[in-house]
Amino acid sequence: MIPALLMSEVSWSGFLRPDGRLGIRNLVLVIYTVECAQFVAHEIARSEDDVHVIGFPGCYDNAYAIRLMMALARHPNVGAVLAVGLGCEYTQPDRIAESVRLSGRLADSFFIQHAGGTRESIQKGKQLVRAMKAQSDQQTPRKRMSLADLVVGCECGGSDGTSGLAGNPVVGRFFDRLVDAGGTAVFEETVEQIGLRDILLERGVDAKASAELAAAYDKAEQYCQSVRQWSASPGNFAGGLTTIEEKSLGAFAKSGTKPIQGVIKVGQCPAHAGLWLLDSVPDPHFMQFGYTNPNDSEGIMDLISAGCQIVLFVTGRGSVIGSPVAPLIKITGNARTFQHMKDDMDFDASGVLTGMQNLDGSADSLMQLVCGVAGGQLSKPEVLGHREYFVPYKHQDTPGLRAGCRA
């Protein structure tokens, strides 16, 4: 094993994007602009290497959803984009392609109705993604990158009693190391920080950051109060959690101990290195867009939209999902889950519970795995082909994407 002190010197070959960011994959992203184009988009990507799919199901457009998809389209792991629409929806594929081209990437678009239907569209789409993939592989400059160039996100879901005791604390220790190495860490789920207002605010790096944390916390608490839902389910209580505060502390353990630089919203990138909180709770809007985190895939999309090249997913019970655009690394603190679902789980953090390993040792092993995946090793969900995504209708008050993302 490489000693932790030397980990910051570990490097691998990344993909240099025109905005200066570095990717760890060189993908083509197929984006559909309405549910009606979903089948064709997935058929285009089927059996093609490094071609992923995302899309928005709504016919009526939504600023939040478009912002999220544009952030994924101009993600450092993406080299080219094909936008596919049916031909009668509000969201416009050619405008997605135009914005992506302005970022210095390859992009194309078409409507299925113009192309002549399903078969013609699949054929046309496959030709376009193959041509763009070949060109992108040939012309994307390579550059050495290290932990300092990584943005890593963390989400937890399918949690059990081990997530707060082992999985999340190991990620927290890894995040501390990543920040020490000059890298960037992003965590989320402000609705799972309920009861921790004082602890959260103490972690702000300065008064501005603490004010941002206070605003995000107060919005989340107000939100939970108004829907009478505290992000804890009957299963959580049956599993041994007694209060939302207890669940919050277990979830918050993944943030480690470093100062929090500030709060970003969906589609925004951290302004500089360090630890950041992502706020995905809807801002007030006359539509009211329902529950803030409908499923784990939605939260993972949010983290990837912040420019995370890799996302860690802590799952005690054992979730099988993966993600497009950025590899998902699955961590469990439950030894039984790791054994029982070996093909799905990347990392076993249970050693810290039994005393087989301490937090530092486990965090070092996780860091090695992250560097391996960054260097091209496939994570378990990548091997299996899991690429779940979720782009909902929502509303958030945010400045333009350019202000946050350098793209």
Which is closer to another protein, CB of 83 or CB of 166?
166
Rule CB under 8 A: say whether 302 interacts with another protein.
no
Q: Which is nearer to another protein, 4 or 353 (CB)?
A: 353
Residues 98-137 that bind another protein (CB under 8 A): none
Q: In the bound complex, what is the minimum distance in angstroms from residue 359's beta carbon to another protein?
A: 11
Q: Which of 195, 270, 324, 392 binds another protein (CB under 8 A)?
A: 195
Query: DSSP class of residue 165?
Result: I
Element (H, E) at 115: helix 112-115
Name, in order, each residue with C-beta under 8 angstroms of 47's C-beta and a sequence gap of 6 or more: none
Cβ-based burial of 395 (10 A; exposed 0-12, middle 13-18, buried ≥19):
middle
Would you count residue 243 as binding another protein (CB under 8 A)?
yes
| Element counts in the chain: helices (H) and strands (E) | 17, 14
Which of residues 6, 207, 228, 286 is near another protein by CB under 8 A? 228
Is residue 54 classed as helix, strand or coil in its secondary structure?
A: strand
Region near another protein per CB under 8 A, out of 46-54, 224-232, 286-294, 295-303: 224-232
The distance of closest approach from Cβ of residue 213 to another protein in the complex, given in angstroms and rounded to an integer, is 16
Q: Is 85 exposed, middle or buried (0-12, 13-18, 19+ CB in 10 A)?
A: buried
Task: Measure the CA–CA gap between 341 and 384, rounded to whole angstroms.
Answer: 12
How many CA atoms, within 13 angstroms, populate the side-chain half-sphere of residue 162? 24
Q: Is 236 in the site for another protein (CB under 8 A)?
A: yes
Find tokens 């941002």 and name the residue: 212
Looking at beta carbons only, is 13 or 233 nearer to another protein?
Answer: 233
Phi-psi group of 236: left, alpha or beta (phi > 0 → left; psi -120 to 50 → alpha; rest → beta) = alpha
* x/- letters, 143..162, toward another protein (CB under 8 A): -----------------xxx
- With CB under 8 A, what is the number of residues at the site for another protein? 32
Q: Which amino acid makes up residue 406?
A: R
Shortest distance, position 13 Cβ to another protein, whole Å: 40
Q: Give the shortest CB-350-to-another protein separation in angstroms.
A: 10
Q: How far lies 168's CA from each of 49, 163, 250, 352, 356, in Å?
A: 32, 6, 7, 11, 17
55: helix, strand or coil:
strand
Examine residue 226 and tell whether it contacts another protein (CB under 8 A).
Answer: no
d(CA 401, CA 185): 20
Nearer to another protein, 77 or 168 (CB): 168
245 binds another protein (CB under 8 A): yes
Residues 160-179: x where in contact with another protein by CB under 8 A, - otherwise, as a string: xxx-xx--------------
- Binding string to another protein for residues 250 to 289, with x set by CB under 8 A, is what? x--x------------------------------------
Query: With binding defined as CB under 8 A, does residue 353 bind another protein?
Result: yes
Q: Where on the chain is the footprint of another protein (CB under 8 A)?
A: 160-162, 164-165, 194-196, 199, 221, 228, 230, 232-240, 242-246, 249-250, 253, 353-355
